[in-house]
A = this chain, B = another copy of it.
Amino acid sequence: MTSGPKADPGRFFEDFRLGETIRHATPRSVGNGERALYIALTGSRFALSSADSFAQRLGLPGAPLDDILVFNVVFGRSVPDVSLNAIANLGYAEARFGAAVFEGDTLTASSEVIGLKENSNRETGVVYVRTTGINQRGETVLAFVRWVMVRKRDRGAPAPETVVPNLAPTVAAEELSLPAGIDLKGYDAGLAGGPHLWDDYRPGETIDHVDGMTIEESCHMTATRLYQNTARVHFNQHAESGGRFGRRIVYGGHVISLARALSFNGLANAFRIAAINGGRHVNPCFAGDTVYAWSAVTDKTALPGRQDAGALRLKTVATKNRPCGDYPAEGPDLVLELDYTVVLPRR
């Protein structure tokens, strides 16, 4: 008996071709189960994604799924093709959230290779992809760029021409979108959990989100499996016990989920993430770590054509095992820096 080459070893650096579009597998319907699990795994409390009646009062058909849940589901599609042999997820840019995702929608994704750069050690390279998630009607729900360091299968494989994409430092206000049909006139801030609207924030302001959430192995693995993300470092203690850290690494998208959920305390009315301008997993998180977060308002802009909502650019920093009352900006405790744009109702 011989083994057929049926199992997929994942792509190595030399398998990526500039300009190719990779169609990802496993279409995914997302529904009430995903919504409930996301709340149960993160503690998210944003009213718009928690209650149909709240969303319907604003003109939507029901509660849209949390934007970071959508991010994680789209990201999950791309993992078997893009990052199964990745050493590190280096960064994000140009993430634009599009059509809102509702219960019953089915998401699929594809990625275009937009940059390649072999590292000088010839053992790894950086792959830049633009991943696009669409719903069953073909509407884009999210597109984002990420770059990952990927192993080469063969050190001797020739290096591709180096192409590093020119990425926008921020998603422009014209490209920020809200769920179709939403009208914030009826927005009930008291019911959403905080009195502060767009008008009440100012650039330079910092907010300690106060609370901390401890991560358990079961919680981060369950969240990551929910997204059908298959990256081995999150799941296989037997292999990781001999790996770089001796243990499983928490999927960075789960840390983003926790930071966003914690940010409710101070940003309760930031009902929509419209863009991720940039992001970096500064240090890895492990089971047993407690995640804290703080945010700085780095910019504030009106939204073209809308009097009912405005955008805030935020930098949210998450730490492990370190409260954020003093707004730490560096150090080994930092796990996440996320530069993103949220939308809040205006007075």
- Which A residues form the contact surface with B (CB < 8 A)? 1-4, 6-9, 23, 25-29, 31-37, 39-45, 47, 50-54, 62-63, 80, 103-104, 106, 108, 136, 190-194, 196, 200-202, 204-214, 216-219, 221-223, 225-226, 228, 230, 232, 235-239, 248, 265-268, 288, 290, 292, 296, 321, 323, 327
A19–B25 Cα distance when bound, in Å, is 48
Is A28 a contact partner of B7 (Cβ separation < 8 A)? no
Closest to A237 in B: B214
Is B236 a contact partner of A211 (Cβ separation < 8 A)? yes
Residues of B within 8 A of A26 (CB): 45, 47, 50-51, 191-193
Residue picked from A4, A26, A28, most chain B C-beta under 10 Å: A26
Closest to A193 in B: B25
From known contacts A4-B207, A219-B218, infer whether A43 and B230 are also in contact, taking CB-CB under 8 Å.
yes
Residues of B within 8 A of A190 (CB): 23, 25
Residues of B within 8 A of A25 (CB): 45, 47, 190-194, 268
From known contacts A4-B205, A39-B228, A205-B3, infer whether A210 and B29 are also in contact, taking CB-CB under 8 Å.
no
Is A228 a contact partner of B45 (Cβ separation < 8 A)? yes
A104–B51 Cα distance when bound, in Å, is 9
Residue picked from A202, A209, A216, most chain B C-beta under 10 Å: A216
Residues of B within 8 A of A3 (CB): 205-208, 327
A6–B189 Cα distance when bound, in Å, is 14
Residues of B within 8 A of A33 (CB): 31-37
Is B207 a contact partner of A6 (Cβ separation < 8 A)? yes
CB distance from A14 to the nearest CB of B (A): 20
19 example contacts (A-B, Cβ-Cβ < 8 A) are as follows A4-B207, A6-B194, A6-B200, A6-B207, A8-B194, A25-B47, A25-B191, A26-B50, A26-B192, A28-B50, A29-B62, A33-B35, A34-B36, A36-B37, A39-B225, A44-B228, A53-B136, A212-B238, A213-B235
